[in-house]
Chain A
Amino acid sequence: MIWVTRTEREGLWDNGSIAMPVTRLEIKQFSAFGEVALDFSPGLNVFIGENATGKSHLMKLAYALIKPFEDARADTPIEPGRLIVKIKDKLAGVFQPEEGRLGRLVYRRVGKNTAKVSLGYGRNREIGFTLTTAGPLAATIRKASSTPRSIFVPSREALALYEGFIAAYEGRELSFDETYYDLCKALSATPLRGPRMKAARRLVRPLEGVLGGKVVLSGGRFYLKSEAGMGTIEAHLLAEGYRKIASIVHLISNGSLMKNAVLFWDEPEANLNPRLITKVAQTLRFLAAAGVQILMATHDYLLSHELALAAEYGTDPSVATRFFAFTREQQSGAVRVTAADHLAELSDNPILQEFAAHYDREQRLFMGVDGGGRP
């Protein structure tokens, strides 16, 4: 069920920014990828694949291209020199290659290699780079100016480690990648006021219903203020799944996550029990219905199929959904990506493949091929 109503979707829950979803990502010879091109839905984009198939890298890559320029002026092209410096810094920050050597991010093969990446967004805008194994990076732009606002929610929950994190990160005391730093900075923003706050309140109310209270930032710490009269509960005492939803609530409340923004969410299901996974699925559809473009990676059968059901039965036609399967080529080892509007259409669905493999293992055990214990 989707909680948001049409009126709410069309409300004031935005900063007046123009819708500029990321539209296409082309990657050649970067990270685990040989040559792939992904056309994104403006709504929900679900990446599924085994470990080490580049899902997180692909999201970090897109994030590294748009995050540095979200405050750039919409009417002024980004100056190329600045573009190169910003992209270099962001790639180094989110990928953390050894000694900051970006050449290590180029797809590895015998001899030198060159990576080429291009991200389309908005109307025919494009931002990208080429990168050689030796390291030099050249930026490419077409009509590139300001980029959509974005938030990256990594697989490890950040609310509990928030206290003191920003200062510690800036003091180079932590080895977390920059997505954690960016998220903590976004969480630290002051709450919205005025009409935008009212619109945000309408959107977070259903999520607060899931949490059973309001999310409060006080004295550098997050708390859940219980609606059941249980007082305030420190965020780090909450179940991790609740902390993830609480982060989303706070990001909406302070305007960091808004209409026309891009949310990258890596493994929302990590450390969640199945009941909370259905809540997270609702949250994702709710955000997409409210105008947030979502790129997310998951290994989870239940989460991917919850999202698939909504797409198959058209329970919320306003949420355009697209599924992407990441698989490794047998011969080259490079990752390829196939896409479909319905999960069932994906011929390379690694989650279903694992289910099928599970069936095969059970069949072998049943037939006594792999031995077996007592009845």
Chain B
Amino acid sequence: MTRTYKENHLRFEFGPQWIVEKYDDHRDYREKAARLSGTKAVDFVGVYANAEGFVIEVKDFRGFRLQNKKRLTSGELAEEVALKVRDTLAGLVGAYRTSCDPDMWQPFVHTIANRNKVLKVVLWLEDDMAKNAQEWRQQASTLQNAIKRQTSWVTARVLVLNQQMGRVTPDLTVSDLPGAGHPGGSGC
């Protein structure tokens, strides 16, 4: 079964090989971990093909180039993502322990706690900062390294992606919603 979510101006379609939750909207996050002031969360948590754990953060900066340029280049965004990854992993353990539906969180916790399974961090970043695909990849590579430096305590597998650069797995499709690329959204 395909599960579809809307985030910013993007549509995320996770295919049948995914177990996925919109983590930052889930009440087990909002009513538990989020109550601790300053706690952050990524947009999606997922397990792909029963083998790989994913934490996916989505940013759509299109139309907000100037507002977000400093955030992208100063290391602020990299740190924000890394903090979200840390808090999400802690939040998942907490949700599994205290949720009234622990079975829902079990695949996530069992994957992230299993050192023989892969844990991957994805920053899905739509922006209009780069002049071309080559420059975007170079900037993405730099940002990846900045994130990696701060997540390597748990995983060094970090990828910054957008729609032009490809898919995280063959089973995830991301597409624009109407109005994408124009100011009017939150730009965050």
Is the A/B pair a real complex? Answer: yes
A interface with B by C-beta (< 8 Å): 344, 349, 352-353, 355-356, 358-360, 362-363, 366-367, 372, 374-375
Name A362's contact: one of B116, B119, B159, B167 (CB within 8 Å).
Answer: B159
Indicate if the CB atoms of B157 and A359 lie closer than 8 Å: no
How many pairs of residues, A versus B, come closer than 8 Å at their CB atoms? 48
Q: How many Å lie between the Cα of A363 and that of B169 in the bound state?
A: 11
User: Does B180 interact with chain A (Cβ within 8 Å)?
Assistant: no
Contact A375–B118 (Cβ < 8 Å)? yes
A349: which B residues are within 8 A, CB to CB? 134
A355 and B141 contacting across the interface, CB-CB below 8 Å: yes
Whether the pair B141, A359 counts as a contact (CB closer than 8 A) is yes
A375 adjacent to B134 (CB under 8 Å): no
A344→B135 contact, CB < 8 A: yes
Q: Can you give 20 contacting A-B residue pairs, CB < 8 Å?
A: A344-B135, A352-B135, A353-B134, A355-B137, A356-B134, A358-B141, A359-B141, A359-B144, A362-B141, A362-B159, A366-B157, A366-B158, A367-B166, A367-B167, A367-B168, A374-B115, A374-B116, A375-B118, A375-B119, A375-B157
Chain B residues positioned under 8 Å from A359 (CB to CB): 137-138, 140-141, 144
Q: Which of A366, A372, A375 contacts B159 (CB 8 A)?
A: A366
CB-defined contacts of A367 to chain B, threshold 8 Å: 166-169
A356 to B132, CA, bound (A): 11
- What residues of chain A lie closer than 8 Å to B138, measured between beta carbons? 352, 355-356, 359
Interface positions, chain B 116-145, Cβ under 8 Å from A, are 116-120, 131, 133-135, 137-138, 140-141, 144
Interface of chain B, main secondary structure: mixed
Q: Give the CA-CA distance A356 to B135 in the complex, in Å.
A: 7
Q: How far is the CA of A352 from the CA of B159 in the complex (A)?
A: 18
For A372, the closest partner residue in chain B by CB is B118
A372 cross-chain contacts in B, Cβ below 8 A: 118
CA distance A263 to B183 in the complex (A): 50
Complex contacts, A358 vs chain B, CB 8 Å: 141
Are A360 and B157 in contact, with the CB atoms below 8 A?
no
User: Are A375 and B141 in contact (CB-based, < 8 A)?
Assistant: no
Q: Which residues of A contact B116 (CB under 8 A)?
A: 374-375
B165 neighbours in A (Cβ, 8 Å): 363
Asked if A375 and B117 make an inter-chain contact with CB atoms under 8 angstroms apart, the answer reads yes
B119 with A363: CB separation less than 8 A: no
Q: Check B134–A363 contact: CB distance below 8 A.
A: no
Select from chain A the residue with minimum beta-carbon distance to B118: A375
A310 to B3, CA, bound (A): 49
Q: Quick check: B118 and A363 within 8 Å, CB to CB?
A: no
Bound form: Cα–Cα A356–B138 in Å:
5
Bound-state Cα–Cα, A336 to B158, Å: 36
Contacts of A360 in B (CB 8 A): 137
| 0/1 string, B143-161, CB within 8 A of A gives 1 | 0100000000001011101
Closest B residue to A365 by beta carbon equals B157
Known contacts: A344-B135, A352-B134, A375-B118. The answer to whether A362 contacts B144 by CB under 8 A is yes
A360 CA / B166 CA spacing, docked (Å): 10
Q: Decide: A375 near B169, CB < 8 A? Known: A344-B135, A366-B120.
A: no
Given contacts A367-B168, A375-B155, contact A356 B137 (CB under 8 A): yes
